[in-house]
A and B are shown apart, each in its own frame.
Chain A
């Protein structure tokens, strides 16, 4: 099982990439988030929402393991 992670806005700046695949061993979004924070420490001070399979979800979402995940920070520019 493979998770596709898409990074938007400043989260792409933090990870240094727009997309990557992670082999899944996460039981929850919180676990995935914790791992991402270890991989990309700049994410820690960032505010972002997570979408799984094109729907914004909360931390208690149960991962199946093959989702497309998106990290969405707010943008202020106009």
Chain B
């Protein structure tokens, strides 16, 4: 390699810092394991963060503050008042605005030296591979299984390390997948769980600090990978229990079979249906209606009863529904409030709790139950 070629290569993997940046990152530069060279690696790094929610917020905040040079943020969702309990990047003024856009605005105020690529859209099989190709590594901060499997498979196909985090109530999981031929998400969980069997934060709640702790762990793994220091959580699953302050590290073996399965389907990736793979398709036995259909039923004064299984303080409250409010956990003791002879529409915020409710009520001998698809947020 000629001197000139070496210089070009160095420039690609390193970026010189201005005096202002050197001052800003001085506490990093002082660290022997980081130094000026490490800080330049951070500046040269390109990281894609999928989801700017509970996990995405702390990941983005720490990567921005650390001086990661290019950060991609993809999120189609909008800030909701119920997000502010844990997504502390956002303020009241952001409610209703796209998360990726709001995050960028806030993060730029923290560090104007970072380039942000904002994608206020859904991650799909159509855009994932092209998007991933622009970055060195991918951070998973999504909130559903179909996107998690999509992200894993796209990382395997495009050979990008995946920094994984996931949360449930008071517990979290962190890992680094697909790093230097290490284990992937499918080596741990080859198949998705039955749809609806693992509830989400919006259905069962989550303690606000938990995504802060898990997301910060993910940011730490990203920084370690960029700096090539320490031991990445590759081939390991870190679990955290906030109630007992318990961390546990478990070993995961790479499953060549699981990896090859993804690679052998790589040509068809763009046409894959991950919602179908994760069982998010209509149950033939269970009837569902859309918000539009329900509105039509109401305007035709159809003789139905409507049951709201959310807690009584959850928004939005739609007066014209004349819904009977029975929070999900109070259903077993309130059968007498439900008219068994009437056609009954059951709804909640996103359509998961109502599905569980219908399944339960059907076991108890109720029928004529209809789920409001996607929940009342679509009203």
Contact = CB atoms under 8 A, between A and B. Distances in A.
**A, B co-complexed:** yes
A49 B188 contact: yes
B143 A77 contact: yes
Contact of A74 (B56, B145, B211, B244): B145
Contacts of B239: 8, 70, 72
A18 B198 contact: no
B200 interface: yes
B198 A75 contact: yes
Interface in B128-167: 140-145, 148, 165-167
Given A72-B237, A75-B173, A78-B166, A9 B251 contact: no
Given A46-B193, A77-B200, A10 B252 contact: no
Given A75-B166, A75-B167, A55 B244 contact: no
A65 interface: no
A46 B148 CA distance: 18
Interface residues of A, number: 21
B252 A78 contact: no
B118 interface: no
B219 to A, nearest CB: 14
A21 B154 CA distance: 41
Interface in A3-30: 6, 8-10, 18
B172 interface: yes
Contacts of A72: 237, 239, 250
A70 B250 contact: yes
B163 to A, nearest CB: 12
Contacts of B105: none
Nearest to B249: A54
Contact of B171 (A46, A54, A75, A76): A75
Given A73-B193, A77-B54, A56 B188 contact: yes
Contacts of A75: 166-168, 171-173, 198
Interface centre among B144, B165, B199, B244 (most CB of A within 10 A): B199
A58 B291 CA distance: 44
Contact of B143 (A55, A73, A78): A78
Most chain B Cβ neighbours within 10 Å, of A8, A45, A75, A78: A78
Nearest to A48: B193
8 contacts: A55-B253, A56-B252, A72-B237, A75-B166, A76-B166, A77-B200, A78-B51, A78-B166
Given A8-B171, A10-B198, A78-B211, 16 more contacts: A9-B168, A10-B199, A47-B191, A47-B194, A56-B251, A72-B237, A74-B145, A74-B198, A75-B171, A75-B172, A76-B200, A77-B143, A78-B53, A78-B54, A78-B140, A78-B142
